[in-house]
Structure 1
Amino acid sequence: MNAPGVGCGIVFLRDGHILLLQRKKSPEIGAWGIPGGKIDFLETAEQAIRREAFEETSLEAGSIRQLGLSEQLFHDERQHWFGVLFLAETFSGEMQLLEPDKHGGIDWFPLDNLPAKLTLPTMHALELIRQDA
């Protein structure tokens, strides 16, 4: 990658739990992270996160709001990502793992008992949520 990639991520919270997916691909293989992905050309960040969330989890984001931004530099993998982070204030549907080629698992984790290895956008989103509280 010669230029930064532009992505997005979304936080789904339910009863003190956050929805996370385990990555199977670079960057951050094996880490758990919020749903998200690349913003396509001529697609808004909001359109992209609604699409990505549904494609990965089958959850339909209702009311969402922007949390902030995340920048990730992976020097060893020569990747640079800039992402818009969202919080789903409402959502519907039943969670499912829809992209088993990209994700090794999906689950709701208690906010006070998260996996040891989290993706950078997830850590950034959690920090923004804590600041917001």
Structure 2
Amino acid sequence: MEKERLPKVGVGAVIIDESNKILLVLRKKAPEAGCWSLPGGKVDYMETIENAIIREIKEELGVDIEITQLVCVTNHIIHLEDIHYVAPTFAARITNGEVQNREPHALEKVKWFSINEIPENITMTTDYALKQLKLL
């Protein structure tokens, strides 16, 4: 019997600092390896989406965040990569810590970008969230 295939849930955070720069990470792994993305990750079983993004940002970047709003939910479906995520994206601000790449196995780079200088090779979820915030 074939295993039932279900969408996964992934969360992301739009983090903009006081100088109006946005924090992006360059992905090494699928989905969308080689693209700049909002930081985030997968939701664990019995974990809220809010707790998941706070945990993921701490694990990935070593900083504490405060969620300020739910920005959007992306249908992250990529047939070529056999990927299906439902991806809530939050706006958040850093409350404590200095940003660092704590997951070099998964992230090539972590970088702040001016809102006017967003790279072209961004993930589907990043593109959608920034359009919802009228930043693209």
Tell me whether the two structures share a fold, i.e. TM-score over 0.5: yes
Partner of residue 128, structure 1? 132
Partner of residue 24, structure 2? 20
Residue 111 of structure 2, aligned match among 97, 107, 112: 107
Cα deviation per residue 1:81-104 (whole Å; 9 max; x = unaligned)?
111110014532100000000000
- How far is 1:68 from its partner? 1.6
What secondary structure does 1:29 align onto? Answer: coil
Are the structure 2 counterparts of residues 38 and 110 from structure 1 closer, same or farther at C-alpha, using a change threshold of 3 Å? same
2:40–2:53 Cα contact (<8 Å) kept:
yes
Partner of residue 7, structure 1? 10
Separation in 1, partners of 2:93, 2:28: 28
1:67–1:129 Cα contact (<8 Å) kept:
yes
User: What TM-score, normalized by structure 1, do the two folds share?
Assistant: 0.92
Separation in 2, partners of 1:63, 1:90: 9
Counterpart of 2:98 in structure 1: which amino acid?
Answer: E
The answer on 1:80 being equivalent to 2:78 is no
- How far is 1:73 from its partner? 1.0
Separation in 2, partners of 1:77, 1:23: 15
Poorly superposed stretches of 4+, deviation over 2 Å:
89-92
Counterpart of 1:77 in structure 2: which amino acid?
Answer: E
Separation in 2, partners of 1:96, 1:33: 15
Are the structure 2 counterparts of residues 28 and 63 from structure 1 closer, same or farther at C-alpha, using a change threshold of 3 Å? closer
1:64–1:90 Cα contact (<8 Å) kept:
no
What secondary structure does 2:120 align onto? Answer: coil
Bigger drift between 63-72 and 29-38 goes to: 63-72
Q: What is the percent sequence identity of the aligned residues?
A: 35
Separation in 1, partners of 2:39, 2:114: 16
The answer on 1:48 being equivalent to 2:52 is yes
Gaps of 5+ in 1: none
Gaps of 5+ in 2: none
Counterpart of 1:5 in structure 2: which amino acid?
Answer: K
